[in-house]
Amino acid sequence: MAELTYRDAVARGIAQEMERDPSVVFLGEDVGAAGGVFKATVGLLDRFGPQRVADTPISEQAILGAAMGAAMTGLRPIAEIMFSDFFAVCWDLVANEIAKTRYMTNGQVSLPLVIRSANGGGVRFGAQHSQSVENWAMAVPGLKVVAPSTPRDVVGLLAAAVRDPDPVLFFEQKSLYPTKGEVPDGEIVDTLGTAAVRRHGRDATIVALAAMVPRALDAADALSREGVEVTVIDLRSLVPLDVTTVATSVVETGHLVTVEENPRLCGWGAEVASIIAEERLFDLDGPIVRVTTPHVPLPAADALEDAALPSVARIVDGVRRALQ
């Protein structure tokens, strides 16, 4: 067992898979010699060489096209899109090509590929380098969508994503890169579509993702001091979505709060809320509450960004409203 940062866990996860399977290749901007703009891929070039760890031009379409064409012809590429905001310049490859090809070809083409990207806010980068776009991805049939909250999950879910026969968008929350956690030694492989219960309490259920998980846990601590005990579920993956874990908890607590970093409209919490409303209405003892970033781009200044993102105080308030 070693303590690793979320950042170092990325390199560890990629290395674990490249070591195991020679068909795994990795490409992106500044990922090789420079070790990534977030230093999350340091050492991979030295270890695996320039054939398998490829620096690319600033050509997001070419990066994802290369990953797709390689995946359909026998490789298992991991592509990096430096900031998830840049998906906007290559969304054709993601939404029209990668997501649809297996279906359109009646199953002839397999695309075992992973697209990693630094997602989300909290680092004062402003509106074009801070978006949470997991809900863009979730809206497109044919993409699996994964977002780890801990260094251990970075390794385990990345391994699961690489081994998955279908395309996976892997969102790393950039404010989590310096955070630390215990990571067991040896190979770690997780299962996509399984949520993790991070804390158990019988009064309400909080469902969160990525950087909102530690925040929800802080809120749970604060609520506990008032005598309110909440369950915190880390969804870990939006597609596939572990409805069972959420529904089981809601049956026990009767109250549901989602904590989403994405802007309000069509955030993933809306989907979770609608499923629970449709299937578990009579197990609910109060309204489902969604705590989200308001429907605005993220501002840059620290005070403004902090005010926009769901805070511990807003999560606590959300739980109180759910319990009223």
In 3D space, the residue among 86, 37, 33 whose CA is nearest the CA of residue 64 turns out to be 86
Binder among 120, 122, 142, 263 for another protein (CB under 8 A): 142
In the complex, minimum distance from the CB of residue 125 to another protein, in angstroms, rounded to a whole number: 24
Residue 50-69 contact track with another protein, rule CB under 8 A, x = bound: -xx-x-xx-x-xx-xxxxxx
> Which H or E element spans position 61?
helix 60-71
In 3D space, the residue among 102, 122, 111 whose CA is nearest the CA of residue 64 turns out to be 111
Identity at 83, one-letter amino acid code: F
Binder among 73, 227, 281, 282 for another protein (CB under 8 A): 73
Whole-angstrom distance, CA of residue 223 vs CA of residue 204: 10
Residue 104-133 contact track with another protein, rule CB under 8 A, x = bound: xxxxxxx-----------------------
Nearer to another protein, 51 or 324 (CB): 51
Known active-site residue 200:
no
Nearer to another protein, 195 or 204 (CB): 195
Q: Quick check: 278 binds another protein (CB under 8 A)?
A: no
DSSP codes, 258-301: EEEEEESTT-HHHHHHHHHHHHHGGG-SS--EEEEE-SSPPPSS
Residue 231-270 contact track with another protein, rule CB under 8 A, x = bound: --------xxxxxxx-------------------------
> Which H or E element spans position 239?
strand 237-239
- Residue 303: count of CB within 10 angstroms of its CB: 8
Q: Which residues contact another protein (rule: CB under 8 A)?
A: 25, 51-52, 54, 56-57, 59, 61-62, 64-75, 77, 92-93, 96-97, 101-110, 141-142, 164-166, 193, 239-245, 275
Point out the residues that are catalytic: 129
